[in-house]
Amino acid sequence: MRCPFCGEQETKVTDSRAADDGCSVRRRRECTVCGRRFTTYEVVDRTPLLVIKKDGSREEFDRNKILAGIMKACEKRPVAVADLEAAVSDIERALRNRLEPEVTSRDIGELVMEKLRAIDEVAYVRFASVYRQFKDITRFKQELERLLDEQ
């Protein structure tokens, strides 16, 4: 593994442990030349998962896009980043467990809303208002009433 600080090829592993619910390995490494430490993650190389967008185009699944959307919905809310990362991992696991090479963006959006509803209701409503493209206050109100009725 190349050192990100000095570029040296020789590094040694000082610690290894399971990460992301056992789906990856976190390794602490130390450069043998400059002595600086850094962290790497080792994950299984999976077959690509394609997302079918609303316009019919396809792109490779990117968990960082989901995390960014969830983080935006949870902005200024008392939600731990670790909870959001766990939710994204759960979503990705659910999609990959379908064993289908393609998934629709609609399926992803529904899974995100399901996770957000359990994490933070305000974040859920924020995400739903963008995802479902509320056109007016009436639609927004209906969603809030539906949420309250389910409680």
**DSSP calls for 22-62:** TTEEEEEEEETTT--EEEEEEE--PPP-EEE-TTS-EEE--
pLDDT single digits (tens) 55-84 = 999 999 999 999 999 999 999 999 999 999
Domain ranges for the chain: 11-43, 50-150
Alpha-carbon gap, residue 9 to 3, rounded angstroms: 6
Q: In the beta sheet, which residues pair with residue 10?
A: none
Q: pLDDT grade, residue 141 (50/70/90)?
A: confident
Q: Would the pTM of this model clear 0.85, i.e. be above it?
A: no
Which tokens is 147 given?
A: 């949420």
Alpha-carbon gap, residue 102 to 49, rounded angstroms: 6
Q: What are phi and psi of 69, to 5 degrees?
A: -65, -40
Nearest to 91 by CA among 56, 72, 117: 117
